[in-house]
Amino acid sequence: MPIKKVRSHISPNEVLLFERSSPGKKAYQLPELDVPAVDPTTALGATNVRAEITGFPEVSEVEAIRHFTRLSTWNYAIDHGMYPLGSCTMKYNPRVNELVARTEGLAWAHPYQPESLSQGAMEVMAHLESALLEITGMDAVTLQPAAGAQGELTGILLIRALLQKRGNPRKKILIPDSAHGTNPATAAIAGYVVENIRSDEHGLLDLAALEKSVTEDVAGLMVTNPNTLGVFESRIIAAAEVLHRKGALLYMDGANMNALVGIARPGDFGVDVMHLNLHKTFSTPHGGGGPGGGPVAVKKHLEPFLPVPRLKRAGDQWTFDYDRPDSIGKVKAFYGNFGVLVRALAYILAHGGNGLRAATVDAVLNANYIRKMLEPYFDLPYALPNMHEVVFSDERQARLGVRTGDIAKRLIDYGFHPYTVSFPLIVRGAMMIEPTETEGKRELDLFIDAMISIAKEIETEPETVKSAPHNTRTSRVDEVKAARKPVLKWSPA
Amino acid sequence: MLDACGVESPEDLFAHLPEAVRLQQPLRLPAGISEYEIVDYFRRCGDRNANGYATFLGAGVYSHYRPVLVDTVVSRGEFLTSYTPYQAEISQGTLTTIFEFQTMICQLTGMDLANASMYDGSTGLAEAALMAARLTSKGGLLVARSVHPEYQEVLQTYAKNQGMPITEFGYDPETGAADLNDLEHKLNDLTAAVIVQSPNFFGVVEDVNRAAEIAHKRGALLVMGFTEAVSLGILEPPAADIVAGELQSFAISPSYGGPYAGIIATREKFARQMPGRLVGETTDTHGNRAFCLTLATREQHIRREKATSNICTNQALIALMATVFMTVYGKQGLRELAEQNLAKAHYLAGKLKPRFSGPFFNEFVVSAPDDANRLLLEKKIIGGLPLDRFYPELSGTMLLCATEMSRRADMDDVAQALMPAAPALLPAQTNERS
Distance from CA of A129 to the nearest CA of B (A): 12
Other beta carbons within 10 Å of A8:
10
Percent of chain B with pLDDT over 90: 89
Statement: residue B420 has pLDDT above 80: no
Read off the pLDDT of residues B291-345 as tens digits, 9 standing for 90 and up: 999 987 766 666 667 777 777 667 999 999 999 999 999 999 999 999 999 999 9
On whether any CB of chain A is under 8 Å from the CB of B306, the answer is yes
Statement: residue B434 has pLDDT above 50: no
Interface of A with B in 347-376 (CB under 8 A): 348-357, 361-362, 364-366, 368-369, 372-373
Q: Which residue of A has its CA nearest to B5?
A: A369
Q: Which residue of A has its CA nearest to B156?
A: A329
User: Which of B117, B282, B385 lies nearest to residue A112, judging by beta carbons?
Assistant: B385
Statement: residue B254 has pLDDT above 70: yes
On whether any CB of chain B is under 8 Å from the CB of A405, the answer is no
Distance CA A430, CA A23 (A): 51
Please give the radius of gyration of chain A, using alpha carbons only, rounded to the nearest integer: 25
Distance from CA of A108 to the nearest CA of B (A): 5
A78-99: average pLDDT: 97
Q: Are A349 and A364 in contact (CB under 8 A)?
A: no
The pLDDT of residue B302 is 63
The pLDDT of residue B424 is 43
Q: Which of A5, A76, A84 is CA-nearest to residue A437? A: A84
- Which band of pLDDT confidence, cut at 50, 70 and 90, is reported for residue A1? low
> Phi and psi at residue A30, in whole multiples of 5°?
-110, 150
Top residue of B90, B201, B389, B432 to mutate, by most chain A CBs within 10 Å, is B90
Distance from CA of A400 to the nearest CA of B (A): 23
Statement: residue B360 has pLDDT above 70: yes
Distance from CA of A64 to the nearest CA of B (A): 7
- Amino acid letter, A260: L
Please give the C-alpha separations between residue B148 and each of A116, A136, B162, in angstroms, as whole numbers: 24, 35, 21
- Interface contact flag, A191 B342, Cβ < 8 Å: no
B53-60: average pLDDT: 97
- Interface contact flag, B307 A181, Cβ < 8 Å: yes
Q: Which residue of A has its CA nearest to B59?
A: A112
B377-406: average pLDDT: 97
User: Which of B91, B307, B312 lies nearest to residue A148, judging by beta carbons?
Assistant: B312
Please give the C-alpha separations between residue B128 and each of A236, A476, B309, in angstroms, as whole numbers: 38, 34, 10
Interface of A with B in 115-144 (CB under 8 A): 117-121, 123-124, 131, 134-135, 137
What are the structural domain ranges in chain A? Answer: 17-72, 96-349, 357-480
**β-pairing verdict for B262-266 and B242-246:** antiparallel
Distance from CA of A304 to the nearest CA of B (A): 16
Q: Are A111 and A327 in contact (CB under 8 A)?
A: no
Who contacts B341 (Cβ-Cβ below 8 Å, separation ≥6)?
Answer: B230, B231, B361, B362, B402, B403, B404
On whether any CB of chain A is under 8 Å from the CB of B16, the answer is yes
Read off the pLDDT of residues B191-213 as tens digits, 9 standing for 90 and up: 999 999 999 999 999 999 999 99
Residues of A in Cβ contact (< 8 Å) with B290:
474, 477-478
- Could you report the predicted ipTM of this complex, rounded to two decimals? 0.97
B160-166: average pLDDT: 90
The pLDDT of residue B252 is 98
Percent of chain A with pLDDT over 70: 100
Q: Which of B229, B258, B283 is CA-nearest to residue B101? A: B229
The pLDDT of residue A178 is 87
Distance CA B230, CA B59 (A): 14
Interface of A with B in 39-68 (CB under 8 A): 40, 43-45, 47-50, 52-59, 61, 64-65, 67-68
Determine the straight-line distance between the first and last CA of chain B, rounded to whole angstroms. 75
> Phi and psi at residue A466, in whole multiples of 5°?
-70, -25
User: Which of B30, B156, B316 lies nearest to residue A352, judging by beta carbons?
Assistant: B30
Q: Which residue of B has its CA nearest to A40?
A: B339
B81-107: average pLDDT: 97
B176-195: average pLDDT: 98
On whether any CB of chain A is under 8 Å from the CB of B296, the answer is yes
Mean pLDDT of chain B: 94
Residues of B in Cβ contact (< 8 Å) with A124:
42, 45
What domains appear along chain B, each with residue ranges and CATH number?
A: 54-65+332-432 (3.90.1150.10), 68-324 (3.40.640.10)
Q: Is A481 exposed, middle or buried (0-12, 13-18, 19+ CB in 10 A)?
A: middle
The pLDDT of residue A122 is 98
- Interface contact flag, A488 B113, Cβ < 8 Å: yes
Q: CA torsion A423→A425→A429→A433, rounded to 10°?
A: -30
The pLDDT of residue B300 is 63
**β-pairing verdict for A218-224 and A249-254:** parallel
Distance CA B96, CA B37 (A): 39
Q: Write the Ramachandran bin of A203: left for phi over 0, alpha for psi from -120 to 50, otherwise beta.
A: left
- Interface contact flag, A17 B327, Cβ < 8 Å: yes
- Interface contact flag, A117 B382, Cβ < 8 Å: yes
Distance from CA of B81 to the nearest CA of A (A): 5
Q: Which residue of B has its CA nearest to A192?
A: B161
- Interface contact flag, B150 A330, Cβ < 8 Å: yes
A96-349 is classed in which CATH architecture? 3-Layer(aba) Sandwich (3.40)
Distance CA B245, CA B315 (A): 13
A93-97: average pLDDT: 98
Top residue of B41, B49, B151, B361 to mutate, by most chain A CBs within 10 Å, is B49
Statement: residue B251 has pLDDT above 70: yes
Distance CA B141, CA B159 (A): 9
On whether any CB of chain A is under 8 Å from the CB of B12, the answer is no
Residues of A in Cβ contact (< 8 Å) with B29:
131, 134-135, 348, 352-353, 356
On whether any CB of chain A is under 8 Å from the CB of B190, the answer is no
Interface of A with B in 435-454 (CB under 8 A): 441, 444
The pLDDT of residue A180 is 86
On whether any CB of chain A is under 8 Å from the CB of B61, the answer is yes
Distance CA B122, CA B119 (A): 8
- Name the maximum alpha-carbon separation found in chain A: 77
On whether any CB of chain B is under 8 Å from the CB of A317, the answer is no
Residues of A in Cβ contact (< 8 Å) with B285:
467, 475-476, 478
On whether any CB of chain B is under 8 Å from the CB of A309, the answer is no
B145-153: average pLDDT: 98
- Interface contact flag, A476 B17, Cβ < 8 Å: no
Distance from CA of A399 to the nearest CA of B (A): 24
On whether any CB of chain B is under 8 Å from the CB of A79, the answer is yes
On whether any CB of chain A is under 8 Å from the CB of B390, the answer is no
The pLDDT of residue B313 is 67
- Interface contact flag, A291 B411, Cβ < 8 Å: no
Residues of B in Cβ contact (< 8 Å) with A181:
299-304, 307
Distance CA A463, CA B211 (A): 59
- Interface contact flag, B327 A67, Cβ < 8 Å: yes
Read off the pLDDT of residues A438-447 as tens digits, 9 standing for 90 and up: 999 999 999 9
3-state secondary structure of B262: strand
Distance CA A41, CA A46 (A): 4
Distance CA A328, CA A55 (A): 44
Least confident of A322-331, A386-395, B94-103, B266-275: B266-275
- Which band of pLDDT confidence, cut at 50, 70 and 90, is reported for residue B50? confident
Please give the C-alpha separations between residue A22 and each of A56, A60, B317, B330, B332, in angstroms, as whole numbers: 10, 9, 27, 11, 12
The pLDDT of residue A165 is 97
DSSP of A318-335:
EEEE---TT----SSSTT
Number of Cβ pairs < 8 A linking chain A and chain B: 647
Please give the radius of gyration of chain B, using alpha carbons only, rounded to the nearest integer: 25
On whether any CB of chain B is under 8 Å from the CB of A202, the answer is no
Statement: residue B428 has pLDDT above 60: no
- Which band of pLDDT confidence, cut at 50, 70 and 90, is reported for residue B427? very low
- Which band of pLDDT confidence, cut at 50, 70 and 90, is reported for residue B430? very low
Angle at A236 between CA A232 and CA A238, to 5 degrees: 145
- Interface contact flag, B294 A486, Cβ < 8 Å: yes
Class (C level, CATH) for A357-480: alpha beta
Residue A267 is given by DSSP the state G
